[in-house]
Structure 1
Amino acid sequence: MLQLAHEGHPGETSMTSRLRDRVWWPGMDKDTKKVVKDCEGCRLVGKPSLPEPMRRRRMPSEPWIDVAMDFLGLLPSGDYLLVIVDYFSRYKEICIMKKITSEETIKQTEPIFVRQGYPRTITLDNGREFISKEFEDYCRIKNITLNHTVPYWPQANGEVERQNSSLLKRLKISHALHRDWKVDLLQYLLMYNTTPHSTTGKTPTELLRNKTIRSKIPSLSDIETAPPVDSEFSDRDTILQYKGKVREDLRRHSKPSEIKEGDTVLMQNLLPGGKLSTTFGNTEYTVMEKTGNRVKVSDPLSGNSFLRSSAHLKKVTPIEQITQEPAEYVSEPNSQELSFHPDSAISSTPGDSAYGQIPETADFTTTNAAETAHTIPASRPLRHASKPAWQKDFVCSSDVI
């Protein structure tokens, strides 16, 4: 009776209804369920087993010690995307690749690991590029443990699979709007790494680097209102930088530049030239702006502007400033001057001051400023001079004679 009722492979509900419409015996429902369960054909086309309850991965103790890795593609452009996600900070790195071999994968991941450090474990699927001997040898040398997921069960690597779904959404938008998807990819990556994560409540870069990197959106950290915090390493850095500055300034014989805005300068020839090339060109430039050692000069004839260091420029002194006569030397202490008659002698003996002693025979007269102008040349003031010792008078002793 059960075999007749199961012809056509009805399910448990259909077979039970079919039997109840015609016959009944004690335990009929139980017998019907056993027949359907033992049927080989029904087993082959039955529904898959229900998944086990989800088991969450515990958050690592530090950033970038447990990461996940997966490929996304093939894209219409023929490229693949290698996605690496940190389980602690949810920080994401993306590499664009043309082919997904073990050699190319190592070449792309090595610069990332050099910047961020080698993780302890990598969770990945069973792709050929991940299970090859070359990739396993690379990870063994770098002391990295590989955690391969169950084949055909992407839920085991759910973090990176979720990131791939979000990434694919942005790529679809870029493709639909006919935009450059590589530029949009960079914008998405910056947005993601500077946005607080829905689970951690912190930005990925803040958890990874202890600070949120700057983006185009202004923030309060852009306004430096608080003084810098003093610390031991900051003081040490300041002291050593100052000592290095003093040492290098002495070695290079550096001095403050006299160039200022409005000056006329010559520019050093920085491009290679012949043996007879001059150090500076003969074109005169005008200084338009100077900030520190950065000088912006302009060619008055062509109007071209150049940015140079002050060490590459030489100030040109105007001809009228060179030929200008010096001002007359006139000193007026209390509207009177002292005139000195050169006929008077000034004697100097050992122990005297550097200017010598003024003899009593020296003739000093008080004159007004007009007379002084004729007595003292206008070009430079007179200086007191004394005769050398060998020109002094001496008396020989009679005993010697």
Structure 2
Amino acid sequence: MVMEGGLTRLLNYLVSRYIIFHLENPPSLELPLEIEHVQDETELIRTVNEIPQIEKEMVAIDGSSRSHVFSQGIVSLSSVSAFSSTKGIKGMFPSFNEEMSLELNEPFIALATPYASTGRIEDFLLHPLITKLPMNEGSFQVDLSRLEMELRFSLETACLSKFRNSPLVLVDGPLIPRFIYLDKSVVRHLIDRRKKIIGNNFVGIVKRVNTSTTLLNALKEGKMRNYFMIKYKIDPISFSNDEAFIIHLIEKNFKPPFKPLIIGPVSRQIEDVEITSSYLVIPFHPFTKKFSILRAEYTQDSVKPEELLSIPMSADGIPIPLALADKSAKEMSEATFNLLIQELIKDGIQSAFYSRLEGMRS
């Protein structure tokens, strides 16, 4: 299709006529002829007019992973950082500064090699800071994800254990995540370690709620769905993720000036641990329809979600302690990773085309 005015005018036409409509208009709501009225006994959605302050210290933990693909296998490296809301960086691992090192007894380098096991003694005499995994046949991307996921999660759990007695511990992501690519035995080991250290002072902050269905799963059945259809004119089963549902819920039912909202709590059993989730909806500006939407996870009634709204947010809508822990972990992993890869290349290890291509893109 050719339009006068060229590509710019064509894109403007497609956006205004088609794309925005399909992004902002879910299917029309059709109420049943007979529908039971549901009382709002749960107070699932609450507007927060006054935000209580958190007085205690918060320690945020976050990790970072990087990988390089060589012709002879994959090398991954992870780092972890702990950042205090009152004292700044508590420590990192690994670290070039011994005074800042967390000194964790965990591997931070992982190898995946394409060689079949030969039973050599050298295969079992690795340095304690290195772990090794076999590569799977024909699943290159799985090997990458598996190495980074296992390495980073182990480091983060070890770091959480070190700060488990802090007044409040912020965890990047779910308290007990789901693992897709890891072997069941590995998953069992990782989750058992995490379960042993989770306390009432732990709060998981999930930033990517566009892949979450925790809220929707709690609303799709029975009286709760009916209640939302009647009061908020929105049907939970029309949506595939929590973020899209919450954005449409706000656009249909709230007007400027926007105030912070708490949606929840929603409780569920994960690996025999009762995890409670509340959604924090934080407007970037009272008169702008842009929001930071986070899912906070905690155990039982150990945390008041309203208090979490008092944590300063970055420009991206991330709690600043977590953002700074993430920034320092990424900077450390990048510096350490570049040094490691330079040493390997200098010693004659050849990069695979995948990593050479990634290098050209960057």
TM over 0.5: no
Higher relative contact order (CA 8 A, sep 6+): 2
Structure number, greater radius of gyration: 1
- Going by fraction, where is strand more abundant, 1 or 2? 2
